[in-house]
Amino acid sequence: MGTVKEAKLEQLEMKREAYQLIINGQRMDSSSGETFTTYNPATGEPVATIAKASKEDAEKAVEAARHAFDKGKWKLFPLNKRARTLNKIASIMRSRFNELVELEILDTGKSLSAAQGQVMQAIEDFEFYAGAIVGHRGAVNNVPGQFQNITEKEPVGVCAQIIPWNYPLMMAAWKVAPAIAVGCSVVVKPATLTPLTAIVLGEICIEAGVPEGVVNVIPGAGSEVGNYLVEHPNVDKVAFTGSTPIGKDIMAKASQTLKRVTLELGGKSPSLVFNDADIDAAVDGSLFGIFYNTGQSCEARSRLYVHEDIYESFMEKFVEKAKKLSLGNPFAKETHIGAIINKGQLDVIDGYVQSAKEEGATIALGGKVANVEGYENGFWYEPTIITGVNHDMKVVKEEIFGPVVVVMPFSDEKEAIRLANDSEYGLGSAIWTTDYARATRVSKQIQAGIVMVNCPFSAFPGTPFGGYKQSGFGRELCIETLDLYTETKSIVSYFGNRPLNPFGV
Ligand code: NAP
Ligand code: MG
């Protein structure tokens, strides 16, 4: 195990100096000369040194993006040419697939299979929007004869795009691809913990022929440069993925300049397993639903409700299979579960589990920091299943963002729906049933942006991703996203024979 890890680090050592800001098509150090270090959560070892953007750099990036948008050619390019450029980005990413996967694993500690799937999806996002943009268009509307009304979709302008640490490259792709597809310019602010792949994506955009200033990447502190972008009068839109408290802060601050805002925030997504479900499929899907990406997913199905008739048989299989999940070398194919992003998050997770114990819940599996051989200095938590819970408990109400699931029985469909909707969040949800009528009925009543019916995942390029309630608003990964990066312009024309004289003077 050690050798794989060391080899990877050695390889990266050679690339270290390359992690700079990208502003106006140039790689550069920060104006202050400051840098910061990222650490591999699996080992605790340093991964790379990165230029740390200051407000001054954020200002330069906004100026570059503004200039590119107001004076540059990107938004005037024929659609096919922009589409070709997006496809070129995808093809360069494909040719650097292994490098992107490796960087993502080193920066996040996630497992190989998770990183591979996410890098592949990031590539496909660019391909999807290369196709989608060609069909994105305005409308001809019904107006009285002799008038004509068309609507055009115009790019919204300069977009600040603020990225979380849990899916660093995929979230960057979800934001950059649709924005530049419609002709916007972007300033990307990656998470401080995981900036590497977003920086490489910025380099790839330039290599693919995106003009200077259209894609800028400024790793730096959220409270400093993130906030600066949110308040900047020359930024037209903020697209944010991250925690609900920061999302609220961003929305309040962005209101001062009436920026367009889209927010993809936290979740506490429910899974409902009915007594007519295929139990094995529900067990496998629910395991993946919570433990994928080490539970550090906004749409993690972290509340599991199982019909009382099948509760015991379901739980027996669920716990048995959870025991088989392996933690360890993230680069190994056999590893199911990677590391926790850092010590702070590890403590948060353990704090929640301790609170559940204090409130009288039962730990059916796990419940403590994991000791992973060879990775003693990394941050690991045992896959954890908690039973004997109720809706007053913190572990049931709050987002934990770790490999921890709470399980409760229910007695009928009505109760299941009530429990599922009893949350301030509304991002994902899952229904396990073989009754199509029930699946349809329950889907309609769930307050969530996403319903997965007998399905362990939902995020394909083309499927809308986003939340109800305090999980945010706006949708990413779909055609509708293009509308959220555009303004609608209505053009009304008169083609009558006689000039109009509405005042009659
Ligand atoms: P976070 O603390 O909210 O940070 C997200 C991003 O915002 C980071 O780039 C962060 O920069 C930046 N930021 C922090 N404070 C800021 C401020 N005052 N102004 C502007 N930007 C600021 O979230 P996180 O800890 O990275 O990610 C975990 C959370 O994201 C979870 O709650 C999860 O549910 C949510 N999430 C949601 C989705 C979704 O699609 N709905 C997807 C993934 C994650 P720094 O890194 O420098 O702090
Ligand atoms: Mg944070």
The structural domains of the chain, with segments of one domain joined by +, span: 3-265+471-489, 270-453
Query: How many Å lie between the centroid of ligand 1 and the Cα of residue 266?
Result: 9
**Residue 295 Cβ contacting ligand 1 at under 6 Å:** no
Distance from CA of residue 407 to its chain's centroid? 25
Report residue 144's pLDDT band, with 50, 70 and 90 as the boundaries: very high
Do 3-265+471-489 and 270-453 have matching folds? Answer: no
Nearest CA residue ID for atom 43, ligand 1: 298
Nearest CA residue ID for atom 34, ligand 1: 266
Q: What is the rounded average pLDDT of the residues 366-390?
A: 98
Question: What residues are labeled active site?
Answer: 264, 298
pLDDT score, position 12: 47
pLDDT digits (tens, 9 = 90+) for 37-50: 999 999 999 999 99
Distance from CA of residue 383 to its chain's centroid? 22
Query: How many Å lie between the centroid of ligand 1 and the Cα of residue 216?
Result: 19
pLDDT digits (tens, 9 = 90+) for 161-218: 999 999 999 999 999 999 999 999 999 999 999 999 999 999 999 999 999 999 999 9
**Residue 238 Cβ contacting ligand 1 at under 6 Å:** no
pLDDT score, position 8: 47
Nearest CA residue ID for atom 46, ligand 1: 191
Report residue 1's pLDDT band, with 50, 70 and 90 as the boundaries: very low
pLDDT at 17 over 90: no
Closest ligand (CA of 223): 1
Q: What is the rounded average pLDDT of the residues 370-375?
A: 97
Query: How many Å lie between the centroid of ligand 1 and the Cα of residue 110?
Result: 18
Amino acid present at 73? K
pLDDT at 241 over 90: yes
pLDDT score, position 263: 98
pLDDT score, position 380: 98
pTM of the model as a whole = 0.96
Q: What is the rounded average pLDDT of the residues 119-144?
A: 97
**Residue 356 Cβ contacting ligand 1 at under 6 Å:** no
Nearest CA residue ID for atom 13, ligand 1: 222
What element of type H or E holds 425?
strand 425-426
Query: How many Å lie between the centroid of ligand 2 and the Cα of residue 467?
Result: 19
**β-strand 260-264 against 237-241: which pairing, if any?**
parallel
Mutation choice for ligand 1 from 232, 290, 298, CB with most ligand atoms inside 8 A: 298
Neighbours of 309 (CB within 10 A): 13
- Report how far residue 344's alpha carbon sits from residue 341's, in angstroms, rounded to the nearest whole number: 8
Distance from CA of residue 340 to its chain's centroid? 17
- Ligand 1 atom nearest to 266, measured from its CA: 34
pLDDT at 277 over 90: yes
**Residue 102 Cβ contacting ligand 1 at under 6 Å:** no
- Ligand 1 atom nearest to 167, measured from its CA: 43
**Residue 242 Cβ contacting ligand 1 at under 6 Å:** yes
pLDDT at 92 over 60: yes
| Topology classification of domain 3-265+471-489 | Aldehyde Dehydrogenase; Chain A, domain 1 (3.40.605)
Q: What is the rounded average pLDDT of the residues 117-138?
A: 97
Closest ligand (CA of 266): 1
- Report how far residue 481's alpha carbon sits from residue 483's, in angstroms, rounded to the nearest whole number: 5
The answer to whether residues 403 and 337 touch, using CB atoms and an 8 Å cutoff, is yes
Mutation choice for ligand 1 from 125, 162, 229, CB with most ligand atoms inside 8 A: 162
Nearest CA residue ID for atom 15, ligand 1: 222
- Report how far residue 96's alpha carbon sits from residue 486's, in angstroms, rounded to the nearest whole number: 31
Query: How many Å lie between the centroid of ligand 1 and the Cα of residue 163?
Result: 6
Report residue 2's pLDDT band, with 50, 70 and 90 as the boundaries: very low
pLDDT at 18 over 70: no
Nearest CA residue ID for atom 20, ligand 1: 226
pLDDT digits (tens, 9 = 90+) for 427-451: 999 999 999 999 999 999 999 999 9
Contacts of 367 (CB under 8 A, 6+ apart): 353, 357, 382, 384, 386
Average pLDDT along the chain: 96
Q: For the domain 270-453, what is the CATH superfamily, name and number?
A: Aldehyde Dehydrogenase; Chain A, domain 2 (3.40.309.10)
Query: How many Å lie between the centroid of ligand 2 and the Cα of residue 299?
Result: 17
pLDDT at 24 over 90: yes
**Residue 85 Cβ contacting ligand 1 at under 6 Å:** no
pLDDT at 5 over 60: no
**Residue 477 Cβ contacting ligand 1 at under 6 Å:** no
**Residue 449 Cβ contacting ligand 1 at under 6 Å:** no
pLDDT at 13 over 60: no
What tokens were used for 201?
A: 């994506």
pLDDT at 332 over 90: yes
**Residue 192 Cβ contacting ligand 1 at under 6 Å:** yes
- Report how far residue 305's alpha carbon sits from residue 318's, in angstroms, rounded to the nearest whole number: 13
pLDDT at 125 over 50: yes
pLDDT score, position 396: 98
